[in-house]
């Protein structure tokens, strides 16, 4: 499940997931019928409007052994909030479909560590990195230290602690639109803590949060890039004759090293 944000704005993250999973021997399919998971509607209180979206979602992902997504917030929606929407619909068939598909949804780090049983995915990323645990992955899913386990096993990567790591970055989906001043203030705190680490790269499991923090870091000319966890885990040791380009989630110019 690529998610709306990645499909529309950060397709390299979706490609990185496919590359990584296939490298680990997983048979990956991309259902082209997939659409939004319904998170924006559910989080804003539009449960009735979310019913046809959830119905489309469960139809697209029916029958798979696992649904893997590079987003803690979308995984949390599918696993914990689709049930609320289904009950609201009064449709027993939708309730049953959600009960079958929901438990099969995994945020990427959960799938790698818990289902595949791997932490060393063969990645190589010779940079100093700090990690931001996004709210939904931390609180709704409880992914714990799984992303850190994966990062610590990446060859060449130097992981540094992010001060006040568990504080929200301020994005919060529609929250950032409706409460812009508060969102910006929270994001400024997060960006300041990122700069304090002297990291070259900020990594997280949700591009929505990285877009928010990355935009601030870019405007501050902080010299810190942001990357999704999947893109780091998909990276391998390059041909010595070829440069490595670090993408920026805010889509400024990459840095060649």
Query: Lowest mean pLDDT: which of 1-15, 52-66, 88-102, 159-173?
Result: 159-173
- With a CB cutoff of 8 Å and minimum separation 6, the contacts of 191 are 213, 216, 217, 220, 222
Task: Output the pTM of the full model.
Answer: 0.89
Residue 16 pLDDT greater than 50, yes or no = yes
Same domain, 111 and 177: no
Same domain, 55 and 18: yes
Same domain, 139 and 94: no
Tokens of 15: 């490609």
Mean pLDDT of 127-151: 95
* More confidently predicted of 252 and 7: 7
Domain that holds residue 29: 4-115
| Whether the Cβ atoms of residue 113 and residue 146 lie closer than 8 Å to each other | yes
| 159 vs 156: CA distance, rounded Å | 10
Same domain, 165 and 240: yes
Is 133 contained in some domain?
yes
Convert the pLDDT of each residue in 146-200 to its tens digit: 999 999 999 999 999 999 999 998 888 788 788 889 988 999 999 999 999 999 9
Convert the pLDDT of each residue in 186-235 to its tens digit: 999 999 999 999 999 999 999 999 999 999 999 999 999 999 999 999 99
Same domain, 84 and 144: no
């Amino acid at each position: 499940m690529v998610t709306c944000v990645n499909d529309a704005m950060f397709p390299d993250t979706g490609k990185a997931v496919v590359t990584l999973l296939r490298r680990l021997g997983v048979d990956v399919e991309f259902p082209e019928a997939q659409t939004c998971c319904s998170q924006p509607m559910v989080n804003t209180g539009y449960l009735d409007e979310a019913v046809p979206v959830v119905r489309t979602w469960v139809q697209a992902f029916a029958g798979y052994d696992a649904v893997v997504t590079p987003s803690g917030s979308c995984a949390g929606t599918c696993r914990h909030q689709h049930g609320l929407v289904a009950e609201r619909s009064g449709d027993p068939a939708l309730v049953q479909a959600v009960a079958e598909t929901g438990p099969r949804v995994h945020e990427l780090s959960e799938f790698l560590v818990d289902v595949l049983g791997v932490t060393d995915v063969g990645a190589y990323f010779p940079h100093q990195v700090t990690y931001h645990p996004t709210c939904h992955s931390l609180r709704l899913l409880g992914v714990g230290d799984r992303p850190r386990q994966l990062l610590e096993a990446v060859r060449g990567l130097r992981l540094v602690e992010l001060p006040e790591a568990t504080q929200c970055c301020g994005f919060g989906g529609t929250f950032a639109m409706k409460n812009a001043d508060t969102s910006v203030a929270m994001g400024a705190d997060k960006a300041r803590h990122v700069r304090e680490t002297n990291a070259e790269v900020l990594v997280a499991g949700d591009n929505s949060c990285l877009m928010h923090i990355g935009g601030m870091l870019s405007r501050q000319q902080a010299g810190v890039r942001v990357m999704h966890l999947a893109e780091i885990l998909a990276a391998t040791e390059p041909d010595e004759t070829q440069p490595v380009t670090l993408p920026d989630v805010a889509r400024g110019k990459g840095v060649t090293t």
